[in-house]
Amino acid sequence: MNTKKIILYLSVGVLISAVFFGSIFYFLFMRNSETAVKPVKTYEYSIGDFTTNLGNARSYFKGKIVVEVTDKKLVEKFPENDARIRDRVIKTLIDKKPEDIMNPTGQQNLRKELINEIATLMETDKISNLFFTDYIVQ
């Protein structure tokens, strides 16, 4: 083998090893808590209690919904839009069949759909979660 090829392969190997071990050293010893991810402060707003029919069946949903947001100013805008939000939630619930929301997967899908509906209505992407603090389907 040619001496130049040996030196080239050796140089590339040393360079890759240096990057690999340098990265490990940085993540283990040099990183401090200031550069670590800090938890995001969240705020909650209760949309209220809901009782509505589901689909065209003789079933109904009764529950309480709380929205979690990451912007405190957004919480102050919820009371201004309360009627529009409640209307959108009720329309979403009426479109569901009982079997759509009776299982954990269906409940999770309903949660995502309500987050999207409320986020669209409020023109924001700061809604981090939605909680059902009371949930009955009969």
**Residue whose tokens read 């059902």:** 132
Dist. CA 48–CA 64, nearest whole Å: 5
Element (H, E) at 44: strand 43-54
Q: Tell me the per-residue pLDDT of 36-89, one tens digit each, with 9 for 90 and over.
A: 567 888 999 999 999 998 887 788 889 999 999 998 898 889 999 999 999 999
68: nearest Cα among 50, 98, 46, 95:
46
Quote the Cα angle for 130-134-135, to 5°.
90
- Contact yes or no for 129/70 (Cβ under 8 A): no
Longest dimension (CA), the chain: 85
Q: Tell me the per-residue pLDDT of 91-110, one tens digit each, with 9 for 90 and over.
A: 998 988 888 888 889 889 99
**Would the pLDDT of 33 be above 60?**
no
Q: What is the pTM of this model?
A: 0.70
